[in-house]
Chains A and B, each alone.
Chain A
Amino acid sequence: MRPSDLLTMTPSGLYCPQADAHIDPVRPVRRALITHGHSDHARAGHGAVLATDETLGIMAVRYGPDFAGATQAVRYGERVDLNGVTVSYHPAGHVLGSAQIALQCGGVRIVASGDYKRARDPTCAPFELVPCDVFITEATFGLPVFRHPDTRHEVDRLLASVRVFPDRAHIVGAYALGKAQRLMALIREAGYEEPIYVHGAMERLTQFYQDQGVQLGEIRKVQAAERPKLGGAIVICPPSATQDLWARKFPDPVTAFASGWMRVRARARQKGVELPLVVSDHSDWDDLCATILQTGAGEVWVTHGQEDALVHWCVTRGIRAQPLHMLGYGDEGEVEPETNVLAGEAAPAEAAT
């Protein structure tokens, strides 16, 4: 069996004909295998969904209990047979419940990694390496300029700023699922014991993390009336809220943003960020390259992000590689996702973490 027979592209996304299942489909399908709960990967309205228990829980928080016709929870490492295709889920280290999905049939193994990272994250299971023939990697930060620093250093910078400006509120933009909770956990690890305030939009997901046993310390929802009194507080909110009227009611706010994009100064400036924190839930360049080598894959399919550089790098290492949109994803040509985000146009909230 050739890899392209096992897994192919359809307008709905990656599709395994023999198992009749899509991976992270972008429109409703009969049977969906979901890597993780971010909204560009996990959508409502599928006939059946196979995902980790945590991912199913996140989807229920976001879309309500009836988000799919039927659901089936799968444990990390458990093997599920779908019409002769062996499907297994393995930790991706991206957010709580995130998984790489391995498909094996006729001596061919393909791993669709979804989004993944190798850096430490106290809020989810660490990435596990799955050797394979074809590795499907993301390339969100697929340029060698993206090298994420140690998160401890970034959190120290936030806490140092709180010390220099004890009367200013520190408003930290962070994606509501994963990044926000990871940041809270990292701030606790750095010894910060004051309450951490959150925007109402991330309250339920944060509660979900806590219910799953993730220790985040005292988390308080920001009450509208108390905003002017929160000088010196750390407030975590969705990135878009940092530029809202909502943020201006805080005392002389310091606008921070936790994202891998903050590595490039122009990106931080365009967003009006004053304290960029380079904290990413995606692999940086070095980890993308290292992971590709470690999987032992002879062929790499590169998806969402900066495909060109990573494909080039694979080829210079003698690894066959192609950008996945050539297998069927629409080429949006000019669309640079970050530009749209920066220009204030609508963009999926988590697509550009």
Chain B
Amino acid sequence: MNRFAELLDRLGYEPGRNNKLRLMTDYFRTTPDPERGFALAALAGGLSFANAKPGLIRALIAERTDPVLFGLSYDYVGDLSETVALLWPSPAESHARAEPTGFDGDLDLVEPRPVARGHNRPPPSLAEVIESLQVSHRSDLPGLLARWLDGLDETGRWALLKLITGSLRIGVSARLAKSAVAALGELDPNDIEEVWHGLEPPYESLFAWVEGRGPRPEATDPAPFRPPMLAHPIDDSDFDSLDPAEMTAEWKWDGIRVQVVGGTRPDGRRVQRLYSRTGEDISNSFPDLVEAIDFDGAIDGELLILREGRVQSFNVLQQRLNRQSVSPRMLVEFPAHVRAYDLLHWGEEDLRPLPFCDRRERLEAMLAAAGNPRFDISPLIPFRTWEELAAARANPGEAGAGVDAAAVEGCMIKRADSPYVPGRPKGLWWKWKHDPHVIDAVLMYAQRGHGKRSSFYSDYTFGVWRDGPAGEELVPVGKAYFGFTDAELAELDRFVRRNTINRFGPVREVTHEPDRGLVLEIAFEGLNRSTRHKSGVAMRFPRVSRIRWDKPPAEADRMEILEKLLRREAELDESAES
């Protein structure tokens, strides 16, 4: 798998989409089956096996390295898999080293004699690794892993460790990987998507078809995933060029986008599935919803938790998503529901080429006829001008969302005549999200980042003011590690180093007094109550939106402002529970 690892490594550095495509296509063109098929599965997120725990990897390296040297190395590199990949004493990589000689007391020079160390074991293929991982017992893993690491080069070890710990982030979407396969032939990426869900790694029939050596793989799945259509964020300047009369608008619900698909096999057996927007089959997590799929068709919609007809906040949905197993009690307490946006398929008919308004009529009729309490329709927002829509968006409760208003995260604008085009086509759909919440907070602690930022203090804990027992005090309310540019990161890092007042391992406490310190403007999407945090609140997706070099810490925000927001966020949950 050294070649696959090189591909991954290169993809990680390459920013350009088209160049990533070329790298992948080149790899698929020059790599034989079944190796390339497993690579495709890894790139497209189609692999599943029990992940190895970091503890196992630490144990393996501890047997092979001095703990002090490991500690210094890990601190320097900042990433466990990479540190181990670099440190691993591999027999496959030992090149000629000079042989030790003693001091002979004279200036005569000693010519070093090269000696080869160790023995070479053939590196494992990706196919071997994946097939072994799928069948082997957990207790075999340490031995297998050590053997593979011995056989691989540094890049191969790095990729293997990332792969088996489930932390492979390649910066390539499944879509792009499939596009690279399509580019082997003269196909469109959507041609690949259409047959994808009937296929399994290593996809030999797919490659044969794309390369013109075999027939199109039969789409035998009666309930396949269909690649979703996505919207562009709308820009203020877009409105001028859009005619409200040609558009429809509907709420964007704060749940998870899903595809609900029902079908019938030739033998009459029913197939019901729930897919995430990336095509992952999540049926097992939502048996309550899946058993309610009593139609042959495909709905695009938002998964929500409904209690007594009311949409619950994302926090509530999160509680169900976080559970590993689905208990009967959870099915009662967190009933799943789908609010439908679109109808993609009905019976034998592919509706996607139809205009949105026609699909919408079919969807309304279908839901009305079914009368299925697990599904309802996402209502349209009536508007004539963009100002009217802006007013509705600012106050969803008054504009038709009613008691569910707090679960609205903005609105969607769609051309009434838009066909359903997989991917993110231009000029058809837009999303107009809520502005994030913003507060001014004071930087209190900074920690070294990981990965590419391991030499910078890039994780920032910030606080707001409150009345403490001894007067005004700052209480930490969150931690942000993105939102700034690289140049700003360098400035923040410099500020941290120059204003350190305490050190706790990788963490530094920085000056935070009313007249000395740094104010960060923090944007975030939402707020939860939390018993794990001193402040009692936890932010969703906090990020540094601006660095307020100009603002004295005394003028930063107070805890009260978060308390108020928290009450507003919690209103919906409480109204349903009381």
B65, A144: Cβ atoms closer than 8 Å:
yes
Taking the closest CB of chain B, its distance from the CB of A223, in whole angstroms, is 26
Q: Is the CB of A129 within 8 A of B110?
A: yes
Determine whether A275 belongs to the interface, using a CB cutoff of 8 Å to chain B: yes
Q: Does A159 contact B (CB under 8 A)?
A: no
Chain A positions within 8 Å of B154 at CB level = 147, 149, 263
Q: Which residues of A contact B454 (CB under 8 A)?
A: 266
B65 contacts across to A, CB distance below 8 A: 144
Which A residues are within 8 Å of any B CB, using their own CB? 77, 79, 88, 90, 102, 104, 118, 127-133, 143-147, 149-150, 157, 161, 164-165, 168, 252, 263-270, 273-276, 286-287, 290-291, 293-297, 306, 308-309, 312-313, 316, 334, 336, 338-339, 342-344
Please give the residue numbers on chain B whose beta carbons come within 8 Å of chain A beta carbons, in ascending order.
Answer: 6, 9-10, 12-16, 19, 22-23, 26, 65-66, 68-69, 72-73, 76-79, 82-83, 86-87, 93, 95, 97-107, 109-112, 153-154, 158, 451-456, 486, 490, 493-494, 497
Number of inter-chain CB pairs below 8 Å = 143
Which A residues touch B13, using CB under 8 A?
268-269, 273-276
Contact of A290 among B77, B100, B105 (CB under 8 A): B100
Query: Which one of A164, A269, A339 lies within 8 Å of B452 (CB-CB)?
Result: A269
Give the residues in chain A near B73, CB-CB below 8 Å. 143-145, 309
Instruction: Decide: A296 and B86 in contact? CB cutoff 8 A.
Output: no
Q: Which residue of B lies closest to A168 (CB)?
A: B19
Q: Given A266-B454, A339-B456, A149 and B93 touching (CB < 8 A)?
A: yes
Nearest Cβ on chain B to A318's Cβ, whole angstroms: 14
Is there contact, CB below 8 Å, between B86 and A263? yes
> Are B66 and A316 in contact, with the CB atoms below 8 A?
yes
Contact A293:B451 (CB < 8 A) given known A147-B93, A343-B493: no
Contact A266 to B69, CB < 8 A, known contacts A149-B93, A290-B100: no
CB contacts (< 8 Å) of B82 on chain A: these are 264-265
Q: Evaluate contact between B78 and A266: CB separation under 8 angstroms.
A: yes
A-B contact pairs, 19 of them (CB 8 A): A79-B107, A131-B103, A131-B104, A143-B69, A147-B93, A168-B19, A266-B452, A269-B452, A270-B453, A270-B455, A287-B98, A294-B100, A297-B103, A306-B76, A308-B72, A309-B72, A309-B73, A312-B72, A338-B455
Asked if B101 and A312 make an inter-chain contact with CB atoms under 8 angstroms apart, the answer reads no
Partner of A342, one of B9, B451, B455: B455
A1 to chain B, nearest CB (A): 16
CB distance from B512 to the nearest CB of A (A): 20
- Is A88 in contact with B69, judged by CB distance below 8 angstroms? no
Q: Distance (Å) between the CB of B29 and the closest chain A CB?
A: 10
Contacts of A269 in B (CB 8 A): 13, 451-452
Query: Distance in Å from the Cβ of B160 to the closest Cβ of chain A?
Result: 15
Cβ-defined contact, B451 with A90, below 8 A: no
A165 contacts B19, C-beta separation under 8 Å: yes
Please judge, given known A-B contacts A264-B76, A309-B69, A312-B69, whether A296 and B451 are in contact too, CB under 8 Å. no
Decide: B110 and A274 in contact? CB cutoff 8 A. Answer: no
Give 15 new A-B contacts, CB below 8 A, not counting A144-B69, A270-B455.
A79-B107, A128-B111, A129-B110, A130-B109, A131-B105, A131-B110, A145-B73, A164-B23, A266-B78, A266-B455, A270-B452, A293-B100, A294-B99, A309-B72, A339-B455
A164–B22 touching, CB < 8 Å: yes
Q: A145 CB to closest chain B CB, in angstroms? A: 4
What's the nearest-Cβ distance from chain A to residue B12, in Å? Answer: 7
Point out the residues of chain A lying under 8 angstroms from B79, CB to CB: 265-266
Nearest chain-A residue to B66 (Cβ)?
Answer: A316
In the docked arrangement, what's the CA distance between A320 and B66, Å?
18
- The answer to whether B77 touches A343, judged by C-beta atoms less than 8 angstroms apart, is no
